Structure 1
Amino acid sequence: MKWLLRGFLIVLLLMVGGVAWWLFGPHPDDVATREAGRLAASENLADPALIERGRYLATVGDCAACHTARDGVPFAGGHEVPTPFGNIPAPNITPDDETGLGRWTFADFWRALHEGKGRHGEFLYPAFSYTSYTKVTRDDALAIFAYLKSLAAVHRPAATPELKFPYSVRQGLAAWRAMYFQPGVYQPDPARSAEWNRGAYLVQGLGHCNECHARRDALGGIPAQPPLSGGEIPAQDWYAPDLGTQAHGGLEGWSGQDIVQLLKTGQSAKGSAFGPMAEVVARSTQHMTDADLAAIASYLESLPPRSQPRVVEPAIDATAMRHRGGEIYGQRCAACHGKDGNGVAGVYPPLNGNSSVDEPTGINAIRVVLLGGFPPVTAGNPRPYSMPPFAQSLSDADVAAVVSYIRHAWSNRASPVLERDVGKYRQTPMD
């Protein structure tokens, strides 16, 4: 309760400061936006090559994931993005005049991606990842805009965000933006290769990977920290692991080919994609070119080593719990994942050294044991093997025991989980 009160007071103060900034602060002319509009006027948005390039880039950015309701028309909106502050409906981005982008100019679209502002200059909620999309180049933004304009118009009015006061006051975002947002198109590093720069651009910009794979604070911002160092996905009860491949990184020991295989097929020798990442692979990364996937791998392989993770042993008899977990593992898991935890290549993912097993929270392993694991269906792996759920056959204590066992077996050295941790996620849906 004290934490909630403190958080409310902080946000309220920020909101007041934001309103003051909005009312009395400087408002320089938006030269870049006007220039984008002027240049776009000379472009042929109906050019098939431009539209096709935009289609590919929209796929890379996984735009349909948020802007498509379950079983709905792609890009017509209706999906609600969950946040700790309430649900935010993603808008219709088909070219409908009244409810979509029909009356938007490219200058409007560029301002949304680059500055996080709507058509009328209103602040957009950062559930729309403009903190990453600001790095997208003007040419790529224009191609995406041309593609969206080429879609069939769908009339679907936007819902109202379900946010409580003070989060519902858009002007309060001024202070949030001052703390966490700096507009700026990606600038290539001349000391790096063209492949590395392409990978950095995709990961930092359109791929918006840091939006999930980084820790967020109580205000929903990403504080200063190493990029892609892992974090719990807000309001979704999944942990997006650290993506570093060097010492103590979440992908330590992964090769570039391992990364490419996971993004292309949803499965590699080091692990499989589950939860939100399975959707990313199915909708986005499996459709990327081999060159772009290799570029992403090149960039991830360059991330710096991480500090040694701290293993916290709870005030329980972890040894006895792990012993019980080892018995359950032998009875329920070893037939597929092996006594050595190394799985079966191309069939059952390894648990030994798996980033989803030894991530700091234990959330991912708990949820997969309870609710099952379902890799994505991809062109490269059209009939993936799935893991059955054990929620009906294992108690919370049993799940805690077996998860604690695999998190400390073989080369894994992660903290055990508690029975109460399991109870929190037993009823949580997979998606």
Structure 2
Amino acid sequence: MNKPTHRQATVGLLALVLLLALLVVVQNLRDEDDITDVEPPALPLTPTPGQLERGAYLARAGNCVTCHTARGGAEYAGGRAIDTPFGRVYSTNLTPDAATGIGSWSAAHFWRALHNGRSKDGRLLYPAFPYPNYTQVTREDSDAIHAYLRSLPAVDQPNRPHELRFPYNLQVSLAVWRALFFSPGVYEAEAGRSAQWNRGAYLVRGLGHCVACHSSRNLFGATSGEVELGGGLIPLQGWYAPSLASPAEAGVADWKTEQVVQLLKTGVSPQGSVMGPMAEVVFRSTQYLSEADLTAMAVFLKELPQAEPRRRREGEALDPAARALGERLYGERCAGCHGKQGEGAAGAYAPLAGNRAVTLPAPTNVLRVVFNGGFPPATAGNPRPYGMPPFGHELNDVELAAVISHVRSAWGNDASPVSALEVLRAR
């Protein structure tokens, strides 16, 4: 008998791997719920006013409008480009247009999209649509959101095809990803926890999909990390979503509950303010949530198990010339708003002394704000927020490194300095 050649052995191994992958995929897809109540598309929906109001509220809680609205486009008509490490994904039309939106979708079809990550025609959806979180949404809430979306003006806007690289553009690749990293399941209340805590967990883990930003991701784009909401770099955005479970980053265990509520409601609080992607979350979503739901979220976030602080970055000591340059530039450009001692101005400008956003181990966010400037969100509780002007076009890399390093090390701050090379790379 002839021995198998190296090529035959390789082909056999690949075939075995593919068979095992297929078995894993099949087992994963068996977890899906069957659709047994698909209404005929022509059947008119008769939602109650209360269901429509609840659906609108829940869509706000899920921040659906942000991703499903292109700049300058009609709300919920889709077309917004979402860049990922694997290519570009375009959000879909959620208006009730029969040809291009969800006008022909039943409530069961919509539920399957949220719960199982599968479109009406059976296609698997990409997890840029955060169904790994939305799977926890109850059927009642899903039906309310569907009813609300069906009540919006229909917009005839065809969905744009995604622009993903091979092999990420294949349904079989997505099926393998789902088999490895996704299982459908509705939120179940934790015994021994209060109804308030469970409501907060449902909102944070489900509709709020907070882990989509506040978690690291593995090579395949799936959220990872041993610590829940342990922080992570937001892919391709140049922002770091700090850990909500670390007192050295964005943990709120030692905050008063009302301070957490104030931050989510207005974007500012005595403890700090939000900018960047979180400012959009507050602007589009959390400022509209009820006091009861925001309090529930605060209770949940305050009781997150606390993680060990990340190790302080090791860096070279700031040389005297750079220290003097940073101190001078701060006095010229920053002290007028943030104070000579980094104390800030209550209700207007954030303090820099003791500011956790400034002293994060990685200077990602402070670099982004100094480069481009920024504003907290305009909210009913803070309708005219004070902003930060951009300095990226006024200061060179050496100057920016010096002033940022000064802020990270002055007034009791103890963060490592930033080099001019890091500034250049961040640009």
**TM-score in terms of structure 2 length:** 0.89
User: Contact 1:18–1:174 at 8 Å: present in 2 too?
Assistant: no
For residue 217 of structure 1, report the CA deviation from its aligned partner. Answer: 1.8
Quick one: distance in 1 between partners of 2:166 and 2:303? 42
2:379 is equivalent to residue 378 of structure 1: yes
d(CA) in 2 for partners of 1:44, 1:370: 50
Tell me the residue number matched to 2:393: 392
**1:296 aligned onto 2:301:** no
Deviates more, 1:295-304 or 1:357-366: 357-366
Structure having the higher Rg: 2
Cα 1:24–1:415 change in 2 (3 A) is closer
Mapped to 2, the partners of 1:272 and 1:27 lie a distance apart of: 42
**What is the deviation of 1:24?**
8.0
Looking at structure 1, the residues matched to 228 and 323 of structure 2 have their Cα atoms a distance apart, in angstroms, of 33
SS of 1:142's partner is helix
Q: Give the superposition deviation at 1:349.
A: 1.3
Q: Secondary structure at the match of 2:347?
A: coil
1:185-223 Cα distance to aligned partner (Å, 9 max, x none): 111112111111111110000000000011112211112
C-alpha separation in 1, matches of 2:112 and 2:330: 53
The CA distance in 1 between the partners of 2:388 and 2:338, in whole Å, is 11
- Matched residue, 1:5: none
Alignment of 1:106-255 (within 5 A): 106-244=107-245, 247-251=247-251, 253-255=254-256
Q: How far 1:167 moved relative to its partner? A: 1.2
| Alpha-carbon distance in 2 for matches of 1:23, 1:211 | 25
Which SS does the other structure have where 1:64 is aligned?
Answer: helix
Cα RMSD of the aligned pairs, angstroms, is: 2.6
CA distance in 1, matches of 2:218, 2:352: 30
Deviates more, 1:310-319 or 1:118-127: 310-319
Q: What SS is found at the alignment partner of 1:407?
A: helix
Q: Is the 8 A contact 2:25 2:176 kept in 1?
A: no
* Contact 2:264–2:287, Cα closer than 8 Å, also in 1: yes
CA distance in 1 between partners of 2:33 and 2:43 (Å): 16
The 3-state SS of whatever aligns with 2:33 is: helix
Separation in structure 1 between the aligned mates of residue 317 and residue 409 of structure 2, nearest angstrom: 15
State whether residues 22 and 171 of structure 1, in contact with CA within 8 Å, keep that contact through their aligned partners in structure 2: no
Q: Secondary structure at 2:382's aligned position in 1?
A: coil
Q: Closer, same or farther in 2 for the Cα pair 1:335/1:117, shift >3 Å?
A: same
Cα offset, 1:19, TM superposition? 9.8
Contact 1:52/1:147 (8 A) holds in 2: yes
CA shift in 2, pair 1:103/1:419, >3 Å: same
Task: Give the structure 2 partner of residue 405 of structure 1.
Answer: 406
Q: Distance in 2 between matches of 1:97 and 1:22?
A: 36
Provide the C-alpha distance between the structure 2 equivalents of 1:110 and 1:154, rounded to a whole number of angstroms: 22
Partners of 1:46 and 1:150 within 8 A in 2: no
| Deviation of 1:370 (Å) | 1.4
Contact 1:83 1:234 in 2 (8 A): yes
CA deviation string 1:74-106 (max 9, x = no partner): 000110111111110000010111111011111
Give, as a single letter, the amino acid of the residue that structure 2 aligns with 1:359.
Answer: L
Amino acid of the structure 2 residue aligned with 1:392: H
Where do 5+ consecutive residues of structure 1 fail to align? 1-12, 427-431
For 1:381, the aligned partner's letter is: N
> Is the deviation greater in 231-240 or in 256-265?
256-265
Q: Which residue of 2 is the match for residue 270 of structure 1?
A: 271
Kindly tell me: are residues 123 and 323 of structure 1, through their superposed partners in 2, closer, same or farther at Cα, counting changes over 3 Å? Answer: farther
What secondary structure does 1:188 align onto? Answer: coil
Contact 1:58-1:144 within 8 A present in 2 as well: yes
Matched to 1:251, the amino acid is G
Q: Which amino acid aligns with 2:401?
A: A
Instruction: Assess if the C-alpha contact under 8 Å between 2:116 and 2:131 holds in 1.
Output: yes
**2-side partners of 1:95 and 1:266: how far apart?**
33
Partner of 1:89: 90
Tell me if structure 2 keeps the 8 A contact 1:129–1:211. Answer: yes
Go from structure 1 to structure 2 and tell me whether the alpha carbon gap of 1:362 and 1:29 turns closer, same or farther (over 3 Å shift): closer
Q: Alpha-carbon deviation of 1:405?
A: 2.3
Q: Tell me, in whole angstroms, the C-alpha distance in 1 between the residues paired with 2:174 and 2:330.
A: 48
Normalising by structure 1, we get a TM-score of: 0.88
Question: 1:183 offset after TM fit, Å?
Answer: 1.3
Query: Is 1:362 matched up with 2:324?
Result: no
Change (3 A) 1:33 1:63: farther
Distance 1:45 1:140 in 2: 16
Are the equivalent residues in 2 in contact too, given 1:249–1:305 (CA < 8 A)? no
How many Å apart are 1:255 and its aligned residue?
2.7
User: Using the alignment, how far apart are the partners of 1:44 and 1:102 within structure 2?
Assistant: 11
> Partners of 2:320 and 2:314 in 1: how far apart?
10
Alignment CA distance shift 1:421-1:33 (3 Å): farther
Is the alpha carbon distance of 1:66 and 1:25 closer, same or farther for their aligned partners in structure 2, counting shifts above 3 Å?
same
The 3 A distance-change label for structure 1 pair 280 and 45 is: farther
CA displacement, residues 25-61 of structure 1 (integer Å, 9 cap, x when unaligned): 35866773425648x9999642111011000000110
Q: Secondary structure at the match of 1:257?
A: helix
Look up the equivalent residue of 1:139 and give its one-letter code. Answer: E
Where does the alignment leave 5 or more consecutive residues of structure 2 unmatched?
Answer: 1-13
Residue identity opposite 1:118 in structure 2: S
Q: Is the 8 A contact 1:113 1:133 kept in 2?
A: yes
Amino acid at match of 1:85: F
Q: Aligned-pair distance for 1:248? A: 3.5
- Which range moves more in the overlay, 410-419 or 368-377? 410-419
> Which deviates more, 53-62 or 359-368?
359-368
Cα pair 1:343 1:351 within 8 Å, conserved:
yes
Matched, 1:349 2:350: yes
- 1:70 and 2:79 are equivalent in the alignment: no
Secondary structure in 1 aligned to 2:153? coil
Q: Give the percent of matched residue pairs that are identical in Structure 1 and Structure 2.
A: 50
Q: Give the drift of 1:379.
A: 1.0
Between stretches 27-36 and 357-366, larger displacement belongs to 27-36
Give the SS at the match of 1:175.
Answer: helix
Contact 2:316 2:417 in 1 (8 A): no
